[in-house]
Amino acid sequence: MKTVLITGCSSGYGLETARHFHAQGWNVIASMRTPREDVLPKSDRLRVLQLDVTRPDSIAAAIAACGPIDVLVNNAGIGLFGAFEATPMTTVREVFETNVFGVMAVTQAALPQLRERRSGAVVNVTSSATLAPMPLVAAYTASKTAIEGFTGSLALELAEFNVRAKLVEPGYGPGTQFSANSGSRMGGLIPEAYAGFAQRTLASFMQPAAVTLPVDVAEVVWRAAQDESRALHFAAGADAVALAGSK
């Protein structure tokens, strides 16, 4: 029976991915910055673990508590919507701390055991914002694009040890907590000069031709984790698949 460690499982894609792996018979370690036992079924194959990907001590404690894992899914991330001109660099760095350095740090901590066993996979969840330019998410897109480059290079390194690295690129998911997870970071990021443009942009988001559901992402993460080909990119959701096809 295989074991998966998934970060960012309190809601959205991470939560559904934890449920999906569990339904497939895996042992699931669902990590959260603030653990919530009530969002997942009670099972001897499922553990909720505290993990803040921005804190080295939290990462070390979590990896030690996990024991052997077969797959790492880096899903934890924070969103940001606003004009780049108005975005403080401290906020940009905060986004990168979670979306980039957090992913790298957790991956680095998990790799030794995968390399030594010469098996397993790392699946990094990014965004369809990497597939086509989108307005008012410049810093967020930069963070996700950084992980795309990181994972592509990592895949080549790990292939030497029969360990795989994959990218899952979800589309627009209105059912996720993107805005809620952005929190106070979004305050003041739409100055008056950008107000009209931001209003039109938000209106277009409210009328998408297709959207991505958490179950779409969970199923693709599951497929990517088991894929033994050299494929790197896995679009998740009808809108992401369409963007990937046109890229």
CATH code, domain carrying 74:
3.40.50.720
pLDDT confidence bin for 240, thresholds 50/70/90: very high
Give the number of domains in the chain: 1
Instruction: Quote the CA–CA distance of 132 and 4 in Å, as a whole number.
Output: 30
Instruction: Quote the CA–CA distance of 72 and 225 in Å, as a whole number.
Output: 9
Round to the nearest angstrom and report the end-to-end CA distance of the chain: 38
What pLDDT does 59 receive?
98
What pLDDT does 206 receive?
82
Q: What is the pLDDT of residues 134-163, one digit of tens each?
A: 999 999 999 999 999 999 999 999 999 999
What pLDDT does 186 receive?
67
What pLDDT does 48 receive?
98
Burial-class residue 186 by CB neighbours within 10 Å (0-12, 13-18, 19+): middle
What pLDDT does 246 receive?
86
27-32/46-50 β-pairing: parallel
Q: Cα–Cα distances in Å, from 133 out to 89, 125, 175, 230?
A: 21, 18, 21, 26
Q: What is the pLDDT of residues 55-108, one digit of tens each?
A: 999 999 999 999 999 999 999 999 999 999 999 999 999 999 999 999 999 999
Instruction: Quote the CA–CA distance of 29 and 61 in Å, as a whole number.
Output: 13
Residues with active-site annotation: 140
Cβ distance 143 to 97 under 8 Å? no
Q: Which residues form the domain of 71?
A: 3-246
The residue behind tokens 């991915």 is 17
**Weakest-pLDDT range from 9-13, 94-98, 185-189, 217-221:** 185-189
What pLDDT does 247 receive?
74
Q: What is the pLDDT of residues 2-47, one digit of tens each?
A: 999 999 999 999 999 999 999 999 999 999 999 998 999 999 999 9
Phi (first) and psi of residue 108, to 5 degrees? -60, -35
Q: What is the pLDDT of residues 102-144, one digit of tens each?
A: 999 999 999 999 999 999 999 999 999 999 999 999 999 999 9
